[in-house]
Amino acid sequence: MEGNCKALFLDLDGTLLNDQKEITPGNRAAIEKALAVGHRVVITTGRPLVSAIEQARRLGLTAPGCYLIAFNGGILYDMGAQKVLFKETVPLDLVRPIFAEAERRGLHIQTYDEERVLVEPRCDSENVRRYCSIILMEYAVIPSVDALTREPAKMLVIDFEHKEPLIAFRDWVLEHYGERLDSFFSCEQYLEIIPRGLSKGSALLQLAQRLGIPRENTVAAGDAANDLSMLRAAGVGVAMCNGTDEAKAAADAVTTRDNNHDGIAEVIEKYLFDLCEMC
C-alpha cells in the first residue's frame, strides 16, 4: 500500500460535519475504511489546535495516520504521535495595531493562547460565548493584548449579523499590513487574520511532503473561502455541493451529496478507492 497511499484533507464545518456539528455514520464508516487500508486522513481547519484536537477525539480520528492542520495552516499536528510538526505565529508588534483599529471601529476581535480564546474586556460579550460554544473552547479576559508575552497563531474578527464591516476591515488590514499578514473569510461571520504565506493549501503541500506522499496522491474537500487554497493545491480538489460558488469554481469536482448526507463518503469512494484502482 505504501506507494499507493493517499492523503485526504478535510475541512470540518460544512464539509466533514453536518449542520449539527456531528459526523454522519456513513462518513465515519468511509473514513475508517480509508484508514484501515493505509490512507492518511487530515482534519484541515481554521479552528485553534485545542479545538481541533477535541473534535478529532470526538470523531475517533486519533490513530496513527490521522493528522491535523489548525489555524488555517499555522500548525501541523500528528494525532497518533500527539506532537506538533510545524508552527508559525503572528508577530506581537502586529497584534496591538490590529486590535486598536478593531476597537476604533467597534468590532469584536479575539486572539488565542495554547488553551483559550483571549479577549479584552470590551469584547467579553455574547459573541465570544457563542463562538466558544461552537468550537468547544474556554475563553479568558485579559486587560490588554499589550500583556501578551507569546505570539498568537491568529486573530479573528466576528460579526454574526453584518458582513460589510468585516469586509471593510479586511481591506484595511491588507492595505496596511498585507506584506506580513493575510486576511480572508472562513465563513460569512468570521474574518481570519494570519501570517502572510500560510494557508490550508501551503499546509497541505508541506504535510504531504513530510509524509512522502506526492501531490497527485492528495485529495482535499471543502466548502468555503478559506478552503480555496487547498482545493487548488491538492491533486484532486472537491467542493461540497452545499459550498460557496467560489469553492466550486476552485475545485476539480463537486459532490452530489451535501454535508448532511454523507458527502465525504462519496469523496472517499470516488477519489481514494477509485484512484487506488488506477494506480
Per-residue pLDDT of the chain (279 residues; tens, 9 = 90+): 455 899 999 999 999 999 998 999 999 999 999 999 999 999 999 999 999 999 999 888 999 999 999 999 999 999 999 999 999 999 999 999 999 999 999 999 999 999 999 999 999 999 999 999 999 899 999 999 999 999 999 999 999 999 999 999 999 999 999 999 999 999 999 999 999 999 999 999 999 999 999 999 999 999 999 999 999 999 999 999 999 999 999 999 999 999 999 999 999 999 998 654 433
| Residue 70 backbone phi and psi in degrees, to 5 | -115, 165
Category of 71 on φ-ψ map: left (φ > 0), alpha (ψ -120 to 50) or beta: left
- Which domains does the chain show, CATH number per domain? 2-88+198-278 (3.40.50.1000), 92-195 (3.30.1240.10)
pLDDT value of position 2? 53
pLDDT value of position 279? 39
Q: How far apart are the first and last CA of the chain?
A: 10
pLDDT value of position 4? 81
What is the distance between the alpha carbons of residues 223 and 12, in angstroms, rounded to a whole number? 9
